[in-house]
Structure 1
Amino acid sequence: MRAGERVYRTLRDDIQQGVLSPGAVLAEVEQAARLGVSRTPLREALDRLEAEGLAVQRSPRVTVVADVDLAQIRDLFAVRRALEESAARLAAVQPADARDPFPALAAAFERADATDDVAAYYARVAELDAAIEACVANDFLARSLQPVRAHLGRVRRLASDRPERLRASAGEHALIARAIAAGDPDLAAHATHVHLHHALASIERTLAPATTDRTPERIR
């Protein structure tokens, strides 16, 4: 793996997981030393993070982790609904052999308690996302989803992992996987819509109180 790609993935993961919080300065010298690279691949990685909206340049020499804006989160979910509902619908109409992974994925969501191992739960969600993309096999859709998903990890963690929401979310993902396995495109799209509606509502309930006395609505 190229150094620039490795640095990009590390910084992206650190931003998504909250290791680098909104407003954190991404100092070139400090980050290059921390990651054991020269400043050239670091700059390449920072350029990609800026292009995805995960970092912003405050001045020619200062790049920081982007703030989280509730209006932007709502815009993100509007795009996410359009893409993920379409992806679920398309997956459900693929040949039966292409839908082989989904019964096992549904069973995994139904068996596990998402609150026992949150990291494992999010890994399972990523596995379902990857299975849907592989089933649909549409490069244009996959590339469109990539920047959307780059923002989702940090949004989830900033909103906190509430046990009741995690349990409900696991059931919602199980229904999506079951609908795709059954070849039911309408149910797959509707289940995805319901899941995203509840996910956004949960994020808004968690983040909105922190914006009561702030204009615009922004979390740092």
Structure 2
Amino acid sequence: MPNRHRCVYIEAMRAGDRAYAALREDILEWRLRPGAVLAEVEQSERLGVSRTPVREALGRLTAEGLTAAAGGRGVVVTDISLDSIDELFELRETLEVKAAALAAERGEPGVFEELHTELLGASGLLGEDDPARHEYYALVGRVDEAIDASISNSYLANAMRGLRVHLVRVRRLAADDSARLHAAAAEHAAIAEAIAAGNPRLAEAATTLHLHRSLTHLKATHPAATASHQ
């Protein structure tokens, strides 16, 4: 490929990556809500890129299940229903319970001991301050990354990463419930503690309990939470 054409291609790819990252974050953070129509012209103007990178980004988002073609309406942000939450948690339990057990068998105890300590002190991140809560979500993300790195199974790790894209959206449905966030932090701490102790059965049980309580809470609050985002 001639250098000039190659530079144009790379620049287009960078614009596509930027458009994808921006649209993905807006969807995950509920700034673009379920049912929102993502018109290429409007989004290209909003993001400051041409229509081609936006089209590329929308294709990637559709492949992830965050957007979908809607007939004559174009591309829309996909909805999250109670049925889809049930399906996500069925898969989540299958993957995450097994991953927690493998991490307890194969992971470095010191890594999870440190995460356990941080999670025990996470209450200071769960006030009304949004930046602080983002720090908490980043901490939970580090737990996920530590488990992925510990299980020595790239197929399982990739499957969980694909699932988490949708779980981030679901998690935001309960983001305003401080009591649930504090309980979830304690549950994550118990998971990290079990993995640090090298106890796969305890790690499985702690993960199962966390998922059960998360699903129960989401199903109880989902209708009101959905309405608050509309």
TM-score, normalised with respect to structure 1: 0.89
Report if aligned partners of 2:37, 2:74 keep a CA contact under 8 Å in 1. Answer: yes
Of the three residues 188, 199, 202, the one matched with 1:187 is: 202
Report if aligned partners of 2:29, 2:169 keep a CA contact under 8 Å in 1. Answer: yes
For 1:41, the equivalent position in structure 2 comes to: 53
Rate the CA distance shift 1:88–1:210 in 2: closer, same or farther, 3 A: closer
Summarize the alignment of residues 1-150 of structure 1 with structure 2, pairs less than 5 Å apart: 2-59=14-71, 62-94=74-106, 98-113=108-123, 114-116=125-127, 117-150=132-165
Tell me which moved more, 67-76 or 114-123. 114-123
Deviation, 1:3, is 2.8
Rate the CA distance shift 1:210–1:102 in 2: closer, same or farther, 3 A: closer
Report if aligned partners of 2:37, 2:73 keep a CA contact under 8 Å in 1. Answer: no
Other structure's SS at 1:93 match:
helix
Other structure's SS at 1:4 match:
helix
Query: 1:122-147 CA distances to partner (integer Å, 9 max, x unpaired)?
Result: 11111100111011132101211122
Other structure's SS at 1:19 match:
coil
Unaligned runs of 5+ in 2: 1-12
Rate the CA distance shift 1:58–1:159 in 2: closer, same or farther, 3 A: same
Output the aligned Cα RMSD. Answer: 1.9
Matched to 2:68, the amino acid is V
Q: Distance in 1 between matches of 2:73 and 2:36?
A: 14
Other structure's SS at 2:65 match:
coil
Q: State the identity as a percent.
A: 50
Query: 1:42-88 CA distances to partner (integer Å, 9 max, x unpaired)?
Result: 11211121122211111256111111111011000100111111111
Matched to 2:16, the amino acid is G
For 1:159, the equivalent position in structure 2 comes to: 174
Tell which has more relative contact order, 1 or 2 (C-alpha 8 A, sep 6+): 1
Deviation, 1:210, is 7.4
TM-score, normalised with respect to structure 2: 0.85
Matched to 1:65, the amino acid is V
Of the three residues 171, 176, 194, the one matched with 2:186 is: 171
Q: Distance in 2 between matches of 1:167 and 1:94?
A: 28
Rate the CA distance shift 1:49–1:91 in 2: closer, same or farther, 3 A: same
Tell me which moved more, 151-160 or 102-111. 151-160
Larger gyration radius, structure 1 or structure 2: 2
Unaligned runs of 5+ in 1: 212-218
